[in-house]
Amino acid sequence: MAGRDVNVQMGLTSVDEVSFMMLPGKVTEDVRPGNIKLGFFNQIQPEVESDKIALIFGVKYELEDDKILECVYRFEFRVNGLDRFITTHDKEGITVTYIMPLLINVAIGTMRGILVVKTAGTNLSKYPLPIIDSVRLTQSLSNP
């Protein structure tokens, strides 16, 4: 169900930390932003019968192949008529259409705020989560 005229009634119902790890001492004053590699991952947990969908979303920063930050949160949403956007495949998992970029946008914005708070006072505070194209990120996360 892709289309610009789709009326989606949805809301964020909870945000819970799954894991957090930070090694700020590995980031010295001379580290350039381009030297820090950024990675993302996600997992979807739909409960179609109750119109709930959870997005487990993670961000990882690496410097010279060392993981210096990893932040994973569980975002739960209520989406009216969720079944319109979910297709279940026997062995291939599920496909989420149309709403996935919306879920990713909320996760990224929330994650950006979380990282600002958690990295405050460390050298990692100089490397906020950048502006990210949620459509392209959604495509890259769903096509390994």
- Residue 142's pLDDT is 65
Residues 70-102: tens digit of each pLDDT: 999 999 999 999 999 998 887 777 888 889 999
The reply to whether the predicted model has a pTM over 0.85 is: yes
Identify the architecture of domain 10-142 in CATH. Roll (3.10)
- The region that residue 43 occupies, defined by phi over 0 for left and psi between -120 and 50 for alpha, beta otherwise, is beta
Q: How confident is the model at residue 144 (pLDDT cuts 50, 70, 90)?
A: very low
- Rounded to 5°, angle at Cα 114 from 26 and 131: 85
Q: Percentage of the chain with pLDDT > 70?
A: 94
How far, in whole angstroms, is CA 52 from its chain's centroid?
Answer: 17
- Residue 4's pLDDT is 57
- CA distances for 3 relative to 7, 9, 68, 97, angstroms: 10, 15, 40, 10
**Domain range annotation of the chain:** 10-142
- Least reliable range by pLDDT among 37-41, 111-115, 131-135, 140-144: 140-144
Q: Which residue has the tokens 């979380």?
A: 114
Among 67, 64, 55, 48, smallest CA distance to 18 is for 55
